[in-house]
Structure 1
Amino acid sequence: MGSRHILLGVLTMLAQTALGQSAQPVGRFRQPTTQVGAVVEYELTFRHAPTLEVIFPDSSADFKPFEYVGHQYSPTRTRQGQSLDRAVYRLRTFDLAPEQQLSLPVLVLRGRDSLVVRTAPAAVRLRFLAPTVDADQPPVLRATTGLAPVETRFNYPYWLAAIGAVLGLTGALVLVFRRRLRLRYQRYKLRKNHAYFLAQYARHIERFALSRSITNMERAITLWKNYLTRLEDSNLNSLTTREIESHYQHHPAVSQALRVADRVIYGNLLDEDESPEIDLAFEQLRGFAEERYQRAAAGVQLS
């Protein structure tokens, strides 16, 4: 350690000779004492001629026995023909030496030449918190058998694992019973749509019976076509009466009912004598829709 101080002293004297006695960097610890692992601040200042270009150490410098934590540079200030550079380094140590020293190098650029000027060693004392233990008389250990209160904490890993297990089981059940669930949902949709059709169809027939309005009869026929279009995924609602008869291979009930409806709607032939025939046409169309619904439900069951 002594030879190192001698070498630093020689280098400092040479640097002072080259730069002048006033151009000397100064380093000091802001706190006289520190603790193991605690952050201590080291301030580095350098007053020099404004013509000199000075470079302070950065994080790559050797701060032994300290560890670099961070630093903060201050802008250069020039007053009365003299410039001042200043930086504060935040350091910490894990060395157990009672007194620890630090000397940092400052690089001075002079044209093509450069000169390294080191600060005089600054010392900081290490403050120990643990009491001194006599090797011949070890401390007496005290046994604590009482239970200390522990705050109840939410067990996130177990809950996340349980949620993952439930989701995994649900996914497995869906994969296994996917086909059955899909068929059950299709049957549910068929039943719901069919019940809605029957209710709306009955309402239009009831309104027609009360008002004897051709508009209500036309709405009932349109509802019947739209229902079969959705049920069988066809274009039935865009077909004419003859095309519908051909589509259903001239089914007797369909042909008879649609011809009665066309005669009433387009021929405006609404007489009291035709009431039984009109009621029969409504019943035939409803029965045919029921028949097509049963066939569609059976097809879903078989698939």
Structure 2
Amino acid sequence: MAQNKLPDGKFLSDSIEVGKPFFFSLSFLHPSQTEVFFPDTSYNFSPFEVISKKNFTTRTDKRGSLDSAVYQLVSFNVSRGQSLKMPVFVFKGKDRDCTALFSITDTIFLRKDNFQGITDTTSLKPELGLLPLSHEFNFSVFFGFVALAIGVAGSIYWLFGSDIYKQWQLLKLQRRHIEYNRSYNRLLRNAKEREDIKDAEKAIIVWKNYLEKLEKKPFATYTTREIMDNLPDEGLAAALKNMDGIIYGQVKSKDMEKSLEVLKAGAMRLYRNKRRKVLEGNVSADI
């Protein structure tokens, strides 16, 4: 089957302006039976900052499946040439792991009108006219304004700094939960409709990775026993044991859908508990 060896990543414009949004497209042609994941908005897009991500429906034909997404970016960097390459994560079913394949680096350039000054000295002409002297700079007023600005900023931080920090933490927590829900629900739906054990196995991996980020513990490498030592819950324990039997025994069970729903509900409880701790000010580390 003909397919791209590497993802195709490119800017959708020839040049950019500082502080104005632009778009970067990422696509990957792969065998239809292969599961791939694209970076979400928490990925490091340096030297750019990400605004949003739009996913497109997978298109499948005789060549394979084509997945694609468009990222809206912005740059505050004044370098003339700015480059970016993006990965696509290919799910490895046997190793229960993902392999990152990077696109070829693409470069975009800052528009010339973003640069001030003349570089062509042949166009310069001498100016012989008299120029008026500028007024002496008032450093007292300048430092007064600086002190006032620092005082206002300090007062705002003293009064509202804690609330601003909480809202920022809650925003990141919510964004990560939305990304997890989108991936987990898609795999859960596929497992229901196709009754495919592989989709259920992928859902368990997504669930463990989300818990690892949420609880700051290596759940992705934990066994069922180790998970239950950290999350004592009879319902979760029964669901995980049932899923272990299905995945490792490769035996379909009518309880597979129910177990996946129990795990989803457990992740939701942990998410709400984390939100409550942030609101109460009990979470000091960065989420």
Q: Which structure would you say has the larger Rg?
A: 1
TM (normalized to structure 2)? 0.46
TM-score by length of 1: 0.43
